[in-house]
Structure 1
């Protein structure tokens, strides 16, 4: 196979050994691929794209300068025709998968990275490349209209002539109708191809309709009609909304050339579809019925929010967050990706801030990926707000100090625990775990009440017990050190001398 016929691959990973390993996994040319380039981070990859023109990118998620998540977002914005495969070391791979499900062909966990999994992912990606679908053609040698539509949306140039246009599309006006949302009865693609097209034909008998589906959550209907019939199209959509209130529509202005479809999708429809995320109360969006874009009164001040959380001004902090969230949700020109990222970042920061206090939020910390996944999958801004509100209500359940830190708790309980377990390999972390509070908080709490650190006090307990054994019994000093919790005899002697001013042997001679 000639090099120009091979599918071009760009490998992106900050570990050179991983990149070289991938290169040596398979016989690339025999399988129909060629490694066109390598990059160590997302920024390098973007620079190489213009040089090596890859059709598929294999990228790690965690990388310096620009990570795989940002690379995916930028590539899909600038080069929608490039397919992407994600490599991940994350154990939370369900979250990773859901985070990229609308832009990435597949993901492969690095521990399971082998020739078979890699080749399966590559073939899956290659099957979506229009340039490699030559076998999927009509009897006249041309690809199906639906495939040509996908090609135009993905940014590919297509071969087309005026005769084909007039034959297939006899009317002068074209429109794109974006369809999104969920139905309780059937999948979106079936709804578009059967029920929506049927409703359109009831209202506009002279019309041509073709659909394609860039992803499972959206379908695009190409409408070719006489311009005078556009009001009937709007009427048909309005009628359909009565039957399926959870479906949302975005209708572009008229365009006159089928080959303009790619630009109309990129410049017009994709924006309307993004607006639909925020304006879900408007089931049919058109450029002429958009509200005036609001602007944020002021950006969200994370430093202010953080200070109020640290100062335990929770009502004020959460009130401020909800107010900013309500304003943010009205700014429909914001990228939904950035909007979702804001909510995930806020939830992450709240959990981190509370983890560094006396509040036991380990269950919240465990559940954070579930919240991230839920936010990533929301179809509207209102759903994201509801998740944040639910999260805040859940947080409030954890804002009482751990039971052991109530007024009835006193240092005696903690000291008794240390006295009972001093002979064991006792640590601050294990003690904190026993009493269900944060180690750093326990350290501060102990120092405040005892005026010395946890380890210093534990050493005193151990040395006092060792002193009793040295005076009363004829046990070897090396055994005594183990009996009071020291596995290292020399360290025991060092601590003993620091506390008593004498070595264990000197202390024994002086007191017996």
Structure 2
């Protein structure tokens, strides 16, 4: 739930926005603004659920804001917090759909309880809108797309072991107790005598093959999808207890029927490559690559044929686990998680550098590690030389590492260097962004509607991101910084003898009385007393 605080008194605004531990109640303070106009911008730009607002504010009263929200955003729960205990105000607040009318000084506990009740009401409304039956209907509509995405990513080896298990459960497809045979289908090159299709219509022909395959395979134990290259893929599956020879015979029969149907419908031929049968679902991506390699043999064997892969079936090896480990290493390096990096280095040592392993395997694993670290650096658009700095030479001489202890130290140092570089560049980018925001504020200090929403929009930034980095770098809120700059600028201008109303305009205040009150509250003296 997102909460917006609208209050022109800075200390009250800060007390409500930051003096209550809203996170414990799953409430996010999306903004804390000083007037109704800023509030409207905030509601328009963000998905605000609850608004706490004062009544008396410059330009727009809290009741006017409540009325506008009732007309434009009726889902927003408005809580009035004011020092005026007038019957007329309370009556109007009821007319404008205000959730609760609180009179200052309201203790933090009362404000918190009121907001939590408003949150509960909003959650109930959302639950009524998005009821279970509706969600089930939407899920059923979306499920075919999710299944196709899962099968495609599975075939292409994009899932780690735990992801594969998790994703398969999400689409209710059990991987256990099955054996699999992957097949790749492709339309054969068009013959010179073809007069039905043009050469540039190959994508259409491939799509026709996919549709025919879906129709022919309907009702069989198979999954049909289109790969990233436009090729049609089939995953045949059978119980693990079924004889492999019988399973393969069934696959061949169904493929023969399919290619015959393609000839009849399109007057063209297609060919199929069959991968080896696997029971370990983690091996399916390798078997699928085999099916694609088998298909390439039609150059020799001719078109309109089914070609099995004839070499050894894939076997489980440490290299499959390495794929998962590389993803974890990349995450640990990117996030700067030192303890996780140490744990993964230990696992690496056990996998490839124990006394029982061959030297050739250890060297190959070391090559993979250097390639992984290089890829991490290059993915940011950086070079190894500028990223590793003084460690660059040692990185390039990795083949001179002679002992396991040397390798462990080398891995720790290289991963730490890359993590540190990523972190430093992120911080540098953050500081540059905040400097740009501060420069923008300085140039637009005269603008009355100078809010973080206004700045974020003009600088093409996300409001939530801008708010977080601004507070992180400066240590204070956007509104505090703007107030400080305005008051310092106003003091400087008044010292030169400029009239109060002119100064008010130059620092973004439309009403001179409101400016005078703010100035006196900030500096302890009235603007008119500056030169006395």
Q: Identify whether the pair has TM-score above 0.5, normalized to the shorter chain.
A: no
User: Normalised by the size of structure 2, how large is the TM-score?
Assistant: 0.30
| Larger relative helix fraction | 2
User: Normalised by the size of structure 1, how large is the TM-score?
Assistant: 0.31
